[in-house]
């Protein structure tokens, strides 16, 4: 040891490495043993010194460039970074950002007048950068994923999903599918995939047969009709019982090559989210199911998520199926859980109003409470 401290040396391939500053020889030997163990399983010996890692502003440049070929919103994300994220974080090194700093950032952006949903997107952009840095060994953890619930609640959309309509009866989902299939063939299949697998509109029309495994009952969502997915990696979606026979019959009819749903226009031009909505509105009118706000998204992806929760499905699994970056997004559907107000909870407040003037007799009140509870359970 020199100057009262000890140092260690080791090799990583052809590279010679050194780390000093250990107070005792015993400590240096323990760290050297750890390095040897890490190298034995194919990992680097020691994490990089945080002070040697460039700032987030430097690291973000090549990361943003790499997204140009893989993310549909890459150009928009670049503007978000330069206008909103970089002024706060570009001068910091990865290890210098923690949950407290991100909370101050969220509060400042909300004070500027940005909507909660917009702030959530900005935090998710920072989180995506950190995920990449962790993979490269340039960051030890992702502070955006360690945010407490209170902070995550601040950065959430002000939209109330309880006001968003969906197809509440599965029998009506079937009626819509049959009407669209009868009128437009492939559009009925597109609707079935959206309503029974939860794919986004662009993902439905970009789906290829080579990514549909009917034997394993899985759909590998890899692209959108406009190119890359919406800021997400590919994901695997299960083929549910109700969707399986639809896809099997359609594959036999079409030959099972190329796009699962052919273009709706004869010239083969791409389909945006508004194209199928025109046909859906006609079907809803014919079936007397039309109501304000019930468009293609609400009748497909939103209906799928709502019906999943109503059936008692896991919120965590639904988050994976939908491709949400965080389960916080998926928790918007938690109000639909069938056990949220179970029948056993209806007697929680033991107050008898039967003796109050104008009140309902006890026997009748109990009967109505039981009946209402059962009706609610059936409706869910």
Between helices 116-136 and 99-111, what is the axis angle to 10°? 150
Q: Considering only CA atoms, which of 56, 54, 44, 221 is closest in space to residue 127?
A: 56
pLDDT in tens, 207-234: 999 999 999 999 999 888 776 666 557 8
Place of tokens 């190298």: 39
CA distance 192 to 277: 14
pLDDT-derived band at 364 (thresholds 50, 70, 90) equals very low
> Residue 344: which pLDDT band, with cuts at 50, 70 and 90?
low
Residue 376: what pLDDT? 36
pLDDT tens profile 272-283: 556 788 899 999
Q: Which residues have a Cβ under 8 Å from the Cβ of 205 and sit 6 or more positions away?
A: 190, 225, 259, 261, 263, 270, 271
**Rounded distance between C-alpha atoms, residue 259 and residue 252, angstroms:** 14
pLDDT band for position 349 (cuts 50, 70, 90):
low
**Amino acid 196: pLDDT:** 95
What average pLDDT does this structure show over 136-158? 80
- Tens digit of each residue's pLDDT (9 = 90 or more) over 65-108: 888 777 767 888 899 999 999 999 999 999 999 999 999 999 99
pTM of the predicted model as reported, rounded to 2 decimal places:
0.58
Q: What are phi and psi of 273, to 5 degrees?
A: -70, -20
Cα separation values, 86 from 58, 80, 138, 151, 221, Å: 10, 9, 18, 20, 32
Cβ(9)–Cβ(18) under 8 Å?
yes
pLDDT bin (cut points 50, 70, 90) of residue 167 is: very high
| Residue entry with tokens 């709706």 | 264
pLDDT of residue 207: 93
């Amino acid at each position: 040891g020199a100057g009262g401290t000890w140092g260690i040396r080791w090799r990583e391939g052809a590279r010679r490495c050194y780390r000093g500053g250990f107070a005792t020889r015993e400590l240096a030997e323990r760290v050297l043993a750890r390095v040897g163990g890490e190298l034995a399983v194919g990992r680097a010996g020691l994490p990089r010194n945080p002070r040697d890692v460039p700032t987030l502003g430097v690291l973000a440049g090549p990361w943003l460039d790499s997204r140009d070929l893989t993310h549909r919103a890459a150009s928009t994300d670049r503007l978000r970074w330069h206008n909103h994220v970089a002024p706060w974080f570009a001068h910091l090194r990865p290890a210098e950002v923690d949950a407290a700093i991100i909370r101050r950032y969220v509060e400042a952006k909300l004070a500027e007048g940005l909507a909660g949903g917009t702030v959530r997107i900005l935090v998710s952009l920072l989180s995506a950068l950190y995920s990449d840095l962790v993979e490269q060994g340039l960051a030890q953890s992702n502070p955006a994923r360690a945010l407490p619930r209170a902070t995550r609640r601040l950065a959430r959309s002000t939209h109330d999903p309880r006001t968003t309509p969906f197809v509440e009866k599965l029998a009506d989902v079937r009626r819509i599918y049959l009407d669209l299939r009868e009128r437009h063939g492939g559009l009925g299949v597109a609707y079935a995939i959206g309503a029974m697998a939860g794919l986004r509109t662009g993902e439905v029309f970009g789906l290829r047969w080579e990514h549909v495994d009917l034997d394993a009952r899985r759909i590998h969502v890899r692209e959108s009709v406009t190119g890359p997915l919406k800021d997400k990696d590919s994901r695997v979606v299960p083929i549910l019982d109700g969707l399986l026979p639809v896809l099997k019959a359609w594959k036999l009819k079409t030959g099972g090559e190329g796009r699962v749903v052919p273009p709706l226009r004869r010239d083969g031009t791409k389909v945006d989210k508004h194209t199928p909505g025109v046909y859906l509105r006609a079907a809803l009118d014919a079936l007397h199911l039309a109501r304000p706000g019930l468009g293609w998204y609400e009748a497909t992806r939103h209906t799928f998520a709502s019906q999943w929760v109503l059936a008692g499905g896991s919120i965590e699994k639904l988050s994976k199926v939908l491709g949400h970056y965080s389960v916080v997004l998926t928790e918007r559907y938690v109000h639909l859980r069938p056990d949220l107000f179970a029948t056993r909870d209806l007697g929680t407040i033991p107050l008898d109003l039967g003796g109050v003037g104008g009140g309902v007799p006890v026997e009748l009140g109990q009967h109505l409470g039981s009946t209402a509870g059962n009706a609610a359970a059936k409706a869910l």
